[in-house]
Structure 1
Amino acid sequence: MNFPLIMLILLLITGSIALLDRTVLHRHRAPGDQGPWWVEYPKSFFPVILVVFCLRSFLVEPFKIPSGSMIPTLLVGDFILVNKYTYGIRLPVANVKLMDINSPQRGEVMVFRYPVDPSMDYIKRIVGIPGDIITYRDKQLSVNNVPVRMEPNGEYTYVESGLKFVYSRSYTESLGNHRYNVLINPLEEHSIQLGGVLPFPHHENCSYNDRGFTCKVPPGNYFAMGDNRDSSSDSRYWGFVPDQNIVGKAFMIWWNFSDLKRIGLSIK
């Protein structure tokens, strides 16, 4: 469902009726008389829809985490807030950038439109910016031929859908100004499942083998990976994130029905 488009359509409908009533229809009513329901309802809803549309389009938009690809940073069922203007002001629905503010940085958690199907929103961590050489080999991430520091952080277990118990090892990575935890499944031998790699734009920038891959990020694109490294569909499989697909930067968990202690946590 394209919620921004639906909001825009409702905004145009209610705004048009409110404007029509203000300029034409009110002249045919006695002073103090209300208009018909199909005029009064849109007039009442128009200010509310306008405020919500502007907030979601230019300031903050809520999202719900549907999968475990960002565990342990984000859990299934987390409701998060995304800053819409951190990476620039964009035209609603068309997502055309009107003004640059900041560029995405390594280590930030970003929401973007899935390159394979832009009607879907994805959330991953940025590990590569334009010009970077990203290598992920034998479960070790390297940026520009420099291994990203990984500190062991104990064991981590969770239950997937279908009551599947998953055992992983947790590590703290340091990338840019960000420190965050990632999960590595010691039972998963390969760094990437080669059969799952799709043909994607700039595929020639990447080389794959049984131990992993190396990619050079092209201009205007970013490389994104999930923190749950062995259970994430990310740039390893479907390629780079174009700048025009960016939605915003995730910065806070505002609700979780299963764990109220997560409310208000900042996203590292």
Structure 2
Amino acid sequence: MKLFEILLVVLTLASGLILLADKLYFAKRRAQRAGLLDSEPVLVDYSRAFFPVLAIVLIVRSFIAEPYKIPSSSMMPNLLIGDFILVNKFAYGLRLPLNNAKVVPIGEPARGDVVVFHFPGHSDNDPNKGENFIKRVIGVPGDEIAFQGDQVILNGTPLKYENKGLYAGHRGQGEGASLLVEHLPGRTHTILETDYPRGEGQWTVPAGKYLVMGDNRDNSDDGRFWGLLPEENLRGKAFLIWLNCSGWFCKDGFEPSRIGTGIN
């Protein structure tokens, strides 16, 4: 996805510069030589055709909504492998492509939001550093969070849970895990738990940081293991599933019932 973003920016800039140079210099020369070389060069013709499309795609992906595909089971049962989602790119401020620098502040993540972000990495040498990850915000600035035996304790108060029985699984993932409803203040969502809790610890969330966890609590590489998420790594807020398709040409499964499903 990052390679596509780089390619999109380069092609948009290149086609735009070609059109600008042609308008300011080469078009005038062609006009002066009318009858000898009055046809538009192929490169300019292609740039004129593709620049508006590339510019629109770049603007939409950078500032409005961007598609992502869920590659792992870490957000089950709410997001499944093969889900294609849309991410609101302006929910937490408008950011420039490539460097992700915020240029217009708009809002901040709330507890319970499902966010996409650049993975900060376990270390500077982590090969996945900078890749797009998706998790749920559990702690916001000012929170004191503890996680003990699959129990989240928020500012000294244990969260409430409702047991909904055993999870049936999805394409061989998560079968037999406990399906629970977790009650964050003002927000509820489902999670999965097993008999083997992971990632116990305590965190104080400072300004500009967030604690994020996967909904598949015992099968998620999240802030419990690599630390707090810096605000500058945020990419946007996940809000819609627009397709579920696994494998080439959906050979491993297609679920039309998930099309148009909101992300809670």
TM-score when scaled to structure 1? 0.86
Query: In structure 2, what is the equivalent of residue 104 of structure 1?
Result: 109
Q: Which of residues 244, 247, 252 in structure 2 aligns to 1:256?
A: 244
| Maintained 8 Å contact 1:113/1:122 | yes
Cα distance in structure 2, aligned partners of 1:95 and 1:164 = 33
Deviation at 1:34?
3.6
| Maintained 8 Å contact 2:167/2:174 | no
RMSD: 1.8
Cα distance in structure 1, aligned partners of 2:162 and 2:221 = 24
Report the secondary structure of 2:59's partner residue: helix
Deviation at 1:3?
2.5
Deviation at 1:118?
4.2
Deviation at 1:33?
4.7
- Can you give the 5+ residue segments of structure 2 that lack an aligned partner in the other structure? 122-127, 246-253
Cα distance in structure 2, aligned partners of 1:171 and 1:3 = 38
2:78 counterpart of 1:73: yes
Q: 1:151 to 1:34 in 2, by over 3 A?
A: farther
Deviation at 1:2?
3.0
| Maintained 8 Å contact 2:120/2:130 | no
| Maintained 8 Å contact 2:73/2:173 | no
Query: In structure 2, what is the equivalent of residue 191 of structure 1?
Result: 198
| Maintained 8 Å contact 2:141/2:210 | yes
Deviation at 1:153?
1.1
Q: Percent identity?
A: 41
Query: In structure 1, what is the equivalent of residue 248 of structure 2?
Result: none
| Maintained 8 Å contact 1:62/1:80 | yes
What is the aligned length?
A: 245
Cα distance in structure 1, aligned partners of 2:173 and 2:58 = 40
- Can you give the 5+ residue segments of structure 1 that lack an aligned partner in the other structure? 193-211
Deviates most, 3-12 or 220-229: 3-12
2:41 counterpart of 1:41: no
Cα distance in structure 1, aligned partners of 2:183 and 2:78 = 14
Report the secondary structure of 2:14's partner residue: helix
Query: In structure 2, what is the equivalent of residue 195 of structure 1?
Result: none
2:156 counterpart of 1:145: yes
Q: How does 1:121-160 map to 2 (within 5 A)?
A: 121-158=132-169
| Maintained 8 Å contact 2:67/2:86 | yes
